């Protein structure tokens, strides 16, 4: 494995009225869902990366509510079900909110042509192809924990 096989990402759990905001790929076979957010750039904090990615994907300013967890995942890139660009990832997961998203009926512009942004009833997570798949189990668990001081970074500021 070389260093390009490992991706470090910051992702958001955004919930409104029992709906979760998700991204869905377009033009892949098969298409799948994932949490909004993306790659952390060199010398960028996980929180700042998430705020930047959310602005790029959704077009709104967000605030980080709290750290939910870090999820490490490795998979076989040769299967049709997984991306070919990397085989191992670290996802820093934060709960986030925006004053511009007041209900799950808020109209969302599609700012990137390779994804659709949509609201999904949170109780439907088990029925969709959410990646990485173990997040289906972890998201509800994390939301029920008090993790306000679980994440610290010396890169904030």
Q: Tell whether 153 is covered by a domain.
A: no
What backbone torsions phi and psi does residue 155 show, to the nearest 5 degrees? -100, -5
Q: Tell whether 151 is covered by a domain.
A: no
Task: Write out pLDDT tens, residues 100-156.
Answer: 988 888 778 777 778 899 999 999 999 999 998 889 988 888 888 876 656 667 776
Q: How many domains does the chain have?
A: 1
User: H-helix or E-strand containing 58?
Assistant: helix 46-58
Location of structure tokens 């260093």: 3
Q: Tell whether 155 is covered by a domain.
A: no
Its domain, for residue 88, covers 3-143
């Amino acid at each position: 494995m070389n260093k390009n096989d490992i991706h470090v990402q910051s992702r958001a759990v955004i919930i409104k009225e029992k709906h979760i905001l998700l991204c869905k790929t377009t033009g892949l076979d098969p298409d799948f869902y994932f949490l909004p957010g993306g790659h952390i750039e060199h010398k960028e904090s996980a929180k700042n990366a998430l705020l930047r990615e959310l602005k790029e994907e959704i077009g709104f300013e967000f605030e980080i509510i709290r750290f939910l967890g870090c999820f490490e995942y490795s998979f076989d890139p040769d299967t049709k079900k997984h991306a070919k660009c990397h085989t191992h990832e670290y996802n820093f997961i934060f709960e986030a909110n925006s004053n511009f998203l007041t209900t799950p009926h808020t109209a969302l512009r599609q700012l990137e042509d390779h994804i659709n942004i949509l609201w999904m009833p949170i109780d439907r997570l088990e029925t969709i192809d959410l990646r990485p798949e173990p997040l289906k189990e972890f998201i509800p668990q994390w939301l029920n924990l008090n993790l306000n001081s679980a994440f610290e970074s010396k890169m904030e500021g």
